[in-house]
């Protein structure tokens, strides 16, 4: 990159990192991004007006690689700002519908320009002189924030379209994140609205103790890394029951005169009976 432009772009990206942290861009941040991008474009424009370019290759590189960075972010921040302003304030369904319409609009934009998108994504160069030099200027038929840079010395036939494509790709990520956030909120709201069903342990505490120790002995919980107390606490929370001194209950089970595992044996018998009944149907 030409040193005339490098310090501007380097400084731009350094300040951009302060504006775009690892969290959602809000209305205030989008305004800051618009101001920063406009300022960088203004500085680049002044250099181009004063010095021009030394070669066609330098001109192509500038409009294809250099100017498109702050201009694409200008598109991105402008779209985010508009989205934040117009987003319905109430109703998750209304907000999701609004964002889905934005997605459809972007898809139509890419479909309309699929040939140029393909050209750029394939990193082709045979039409660069037509697309990225000022000798083939064609004024765009739309009025957008970046249209203020339609100075004959500072735009080509496709540099703004390329910046809009890059900006929309960034905006798509923003929309997807917003949609995911809203769907998560909707899911949580639905879960909170569901009445919680309480499970009640209706057998004896000794029976539950047998089950807990059987699970512990078979390493069936957390690959055998969970202790008796941990398993017991989980069952207490699940069935809203207090097991008091589970170790004392276990000692009483061991001292039984008859079968030590009454409940577990009953479970086996009842389960086998259930299978036989179902097979006979």
For the stretch 156-199, pLDDT in tens is: 889 999 999 999 999 999 999 999 988 888 777 766 666 667 78
Residue in 113, 209, 206 with CA at minimum distance from that of residue 166? 113
Q: What angle do CA 239, 245, 246 make, to 5 degrees?
A: 65
Residue 100 is predicted with a pLDDT of: 93
Q: Give the list of residues 6+ apart from residue 227 with CB closer than 8 angstroms, or none.
A: 216
Residue 264 is predicted with a pLDDT of: 93
- pLDDT tier, 255 (very low <50, low <70, confident <90, very high otherwise): very high
CA 119 – CA 132 distance, rounded (Å): 13
How many CB atoms within 10 Å of residue 136? 13
CA 44 – CA 51 distance, rounded (Å): 11
CA 152 – CA 209 distance, rounded (Å): 84
User: HSE (CB half, 13 Å, CA atoms) of 145?
Assistant: 22
User: HSE (CB half, 13 Å, CA atoms) of 53?
Assistant: 20
- pLDDT tier, 139 (very low <50, low <70, confident <90, very high otherwise): low
Size of the chain, expressed as the number of residues it contains:
281
The yes-or-no verdict on residue 118 having pLDDT over 60 is yes
The yes-or-no verdict on residue 263 having pLDDT over 60 is yes
Q: In Å, what is the CA distance from 109 to each residue of 8, 103, 104?
A: 30, 10, 9
The yes-or-no verdict on residue 79 having pLDDT over 70 is yes
Percent of the chain with pLDDT over 90: 57
The yes-or-no verdict on residue 241 having pLDDT over 50 is yes
Residue 143 is predicted with a pLDDT of: 46
How many CB atoms within 10 Å of residue 274? 10
Residue 36 is predicted with a pLDDT of: 95
- For 93, the token pair is 């369904």
User: What integer is the mean pLDDT of 112-131?
Assistant: 94
Beta carbons of 62 and 52 less than 8 angstroms apart = no
Residue 23 is predicted with a pLDDT of: 60
Average pLDDT, the chain: 87
Q: What angle do CA 15, 42, 151 make, to 5 degrees?
A: 145
The yes-or-no verdict on residue 142 having pLDDT over 60 is no
Q: Which SS3 state, helix, strand or coil, does residue 71 take? A: helix
188-234 tens-digit pLDDT: 776 666 666 778 899 999 999 999 999 999 999 988 888 998 899 89
Beta carbons of 160 and 71 less than 8 angstroms apart = yes
- pLDDT tier, 93 (very low <50, low <70, confident <90, very high otherwise): confident
User: What integer is the mean pLDDT of 258-273?
Assistant: 91
């Amino acid at each position: 990159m030409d040193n005339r432009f490098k310090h501007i772009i380097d400084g731009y990206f350094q300040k951009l990192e302060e504006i775009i942290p690892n969290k959602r861009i809000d209305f205030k941040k989008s305004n800051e991004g618009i101001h920063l991008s406009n300022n960088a474009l203004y500085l680049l424009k002044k250099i181009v007006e004063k010095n021009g370019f030394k070669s066609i290759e330098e001109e192509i590189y500038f409009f294809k690689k250099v100017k498109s960075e702050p201009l694409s972010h200008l598109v991105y921040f402008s779209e985010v700002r508009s989205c934040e302003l117009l987003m319905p304030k109430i109703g998750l369904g209304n907000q999701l519908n609004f964002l889905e319409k934005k997605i459809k609009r972007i898809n139509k934009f890419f479909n309309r320009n699929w040939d140029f998108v393909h050209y750029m994504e394939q990193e082709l160069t045979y039409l660069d002189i037509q697309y990225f030099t000022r000798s083939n200027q064609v004024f765009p038929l739309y009025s957008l924030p970046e249209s203020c840079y339609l100075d004959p010395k500072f735009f080509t036939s496709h540099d703004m379209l390329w910046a809009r494509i890059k900006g929309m790709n960034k905006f798509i990520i923003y929309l997807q994140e917003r949609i995911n956030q809203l769907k998560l909120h909707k899911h949580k709201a639905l879960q909170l609205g569901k009445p919680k069903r309480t499970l009640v342990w209706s057998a004896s505490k000794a029976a539950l103790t047998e089950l807990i120790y059987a699970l512990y002995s078979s390493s069936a919980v957390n690959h055998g890394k969970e202790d008796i107390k941990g398993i017991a606490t989980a069952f207490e929370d699940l069935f809203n029951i207090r097991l008091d001194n589970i170790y004392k209950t276990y000692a009483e089970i061991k001292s039984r005169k008859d079968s030590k595992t009454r409940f577990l044996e009953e479970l086996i018998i009842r389960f086998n009976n259930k299978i036989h009944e179902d097979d006979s149907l």
